[in-house]
Structure 1
Amino acid sequence: MSDNTIPPSADAAARRTKNSRAVQLLARGGYVASGVLHVLVAWLAVQLALGQPEGQADESGAFRTLAQMPGGEVVLWAVAVGFAALAVWQLLTAAVGVPNAGNQAGERAKSAAKGVLYAALAVSGVRAAQGTGGSGSSEESMTARVLEMPGGPLLVGAGGLAIVAVGVYHVVKGARKKFLRDLTGTGGGSVGQVVVRLGQVGYVAKGVALGVVGGLIVAAAVTTDPAQAGGLDEALRTMRDQPFGTALLIVIGLGIGAFGGYSFARARFARL
């Protein structure tokens, strides 16, 4: 039996599937889907900053915006398939490991978490395409349920701190250009410079937004008030309501758009 406790036949099948051209092409399509989603969230964030919100400035708002566009249902199905393929690729990576990675356990855990996230986005895309996507604050309802559990405030606080940590990780990854490890190249020349800048700005902006989301969840834990919790939309509204918040939100929105642009580039240059 292999060192990852998967039977040799299953391990070999998982590796063949992960490395197949079809799965990798579909996974690259998942990065295109991510680009579409982030660009739409950026548009909604800027509209929110300008006082002309067209919907929630988060993933659910982006899906609903897509659904309302001409041909949006077809695009939503394509986005859902892309996220589903990327979820499969990440989960297969979690199963068979990352080549030449020093910390296999950490890399597998990260791939598994990404796989779950992309799977959730795929489900959200399907629901939006079918017209069954909800619009309630799932963050608040989930936080309320956890707060009612024994030790609930500690669990919620730990979850919020974990999200803050992910936000810090994104900021560091962008500032130090660590995202270049995820790419086989950047296209070189002026194209390469644009890809690097998009990655830097995008990761930092997304990290800041995630940090605010985590902070809101920690606040809910401290006050035991689930209404304090919120997702990306609530985090962006919190930014907007601060001094110079409009300018800050526009900058963050443009940064999220930059991450969308980087995601399009990653579809071409991702190391799979």
Structure 2
Amino acid sequence: MNAPRTTARQAHNSDWLDHAIRAGLVAYGVVHLLVGWLALQLAFGEKEDSASNSGALHYLAQQPLGGFLVWMIAVGMLFLVVWRLLEFGFGYRDESDDKKRWRKRATSLGKAVIYGAIGWSAVQVATGSGGGGGTDSTTAKIMNLPGGQLMVGAIGLAIIGYGVSLVVRGWTEKFREHLDAQGQAGQDGSAYVLMGKVGYIAKGVAIAIVGGLFCYAAITHDAKKSGGLDQALQTVLEQPFGPVLLTAIAIGIAAYGVFCFARAKHLSR
């Protein structure tokens, strides 16, 4: 009975998992660089693809060797899902406070879902089976359920909360814990920390806007008011000084991608 559990614990502490995590973080960084590039194109009125994770994958698929690279991202996301699930099941054992331990494990589970969603999107793009629906159609289905309007509002508040947590993590530089000592030292370390700070804050702002769209959809009972990252960035673009603000967010999202590369090189977990 304990053999599978023991094997999973060993896997969680193994060197091969470190290599898998590094590969996954590189893939995650590539996705963010592409999203940042598409958002920058949107800011300058030259957008052809959706400035979202799915749009980034479609953009990558159109490049030379794009299909192969999209599959590599799918595999990388799978590695990150495995990592977070092992973390959920066996991580944070040195945390003395049970509430903190389970809160951290719940966060790991949530990240596994996010990575899984990106990985599934990559598989759909690679196999040509993507399309259909969209965020607003999914929201509409939820809205039609009993208490659906409240559920959509709750989802929006949860997304806003996650976005705010990223902003706080970036502002307080709590993300430093993801880098080993070498990754925080010297000029390179200072650059990594700067990339992380800018990246976490920009990504948090973008995600909070997505949550705001969900809340607005719940208040107006109009599923079409909700949307993903692409619609959130469109909303930014429509504001006063929108292109300037969107350019800053695009650079920030790309900076988060660079930080993912630094984290892969100087992994601390």
The verdict on a shared fold, with TM-score over 0.5 as the criterion, is: yes
Query: Is residue 2:196 matched to residue 1:199?
Result: yes
Partner of 1:4: none
CA contact (8 A) 2:121 2:130 kept: yes
Equivalent in 159, 162, 165 of residue 163 of structure 1 = 159
Match of 1:231 in 2: 228
Distance 2:109 2:48 in 1: 34
| TM-score between both structures, scaled by the size of structure 2 | 0.95
Residue in 2 that maps onto 1:60 = 54
CA spacing shift, 1:212–1:137, aligned 2, 3 Å: farther
TM-score, with length taken from structure 1: 0.94
Kindly report which structure 2 residues correspond to 1:133-148, keeping only aligned pairs within 5 A, or say none.
133-134=130-131, 136=132, 138-148=134-144
Name the counterpart of 2:252.
255
| Partners of 2:247 and 2:256 in 1: CA distance | 14
Give a deviation string over 1:130-177, Cα, whole Å, max 9, x none: 22222x552101110111111111110010000000010000000000
CA contact (8 A) 2:35 2:52 kept: yes
Q: State whether residues 66 and 75 of structure 1, in contact with CA within 8 Å, keep that contact through their aligned partners in structure 2.
A: yes
Q: Is residue 2:94 matched to residue 1:94?
A: no
- 1:31/1:263 contact within 8 Å kept: yes
What CA distance in whole angstroms lies between the structure 2 residues aligned with 1:97 and 1:29?
20
Note the C-alpha offset of 1:9: 2.5
For 2:74 and 2:64, how far apart are their aligned partners in 1? Answer: 17
What CA distance in whole angstroms lies between the structure 1 residues aligned with 2:240 and 2:180?
41
Task: Structure 1: give runs of 5+ residues left out of the alignment.
Answer: 1-6
Return the letter of the residue paired with 1:104. Answer: R
Question: Structure 1 stretch 245-254 or stretch 113-122: which is displaced more?
Answer: 113-122
The equivalent residue for 2:110 is 113
CA displacement at 1:73 relative to structure 2: 1.1
Q: CA deviation at 1:69?
A: 0.3
Amino acid at match of 1:144: A
Structure 2: runs of 5+ lacking an equivalent: none
Q: Hey, what's the Cα distance between the residues in 2 that align with 1:140 and 1:127?
A: 19
Aligned to 1:241: 238
Q: d(CA) in 2 for partners of 1:98 and 1:62?
A: 33
Q: Which residue of 2 aligns with 1:3?
A: none
Indicate conservation of the 8 Å contact 1:168/1:207, yes or no: yes
Corresponding residue number in structure 1 for 2:219: 222
Among 35, 42, 45, the alignment partner of 2:29 is 35
Q: Letter of the aligned partner of 1:110 in structure 2?
A: T
Q: Secondary structure at the match of 2:54?
A: helix
Contact 1:27–1:83 under 8 Å retained in 2: no
Give the AA of the match of 1:153.
Q
The number of aligned residues is 265
Q: 2:123 aligns with which of 116, 123, 126?
A: 126
How many angstroms does 1:10 deviate by?
2.6
Aligned-CA RMSD value: 1.2
In the alignment, which of 246, 262, 267 is matched to residue 265 of structure 1?
A: 262
What amino acid sits opposite 2:161 in the alignment?
A: A
Corresponding position: 1:9 with 2:6:
no
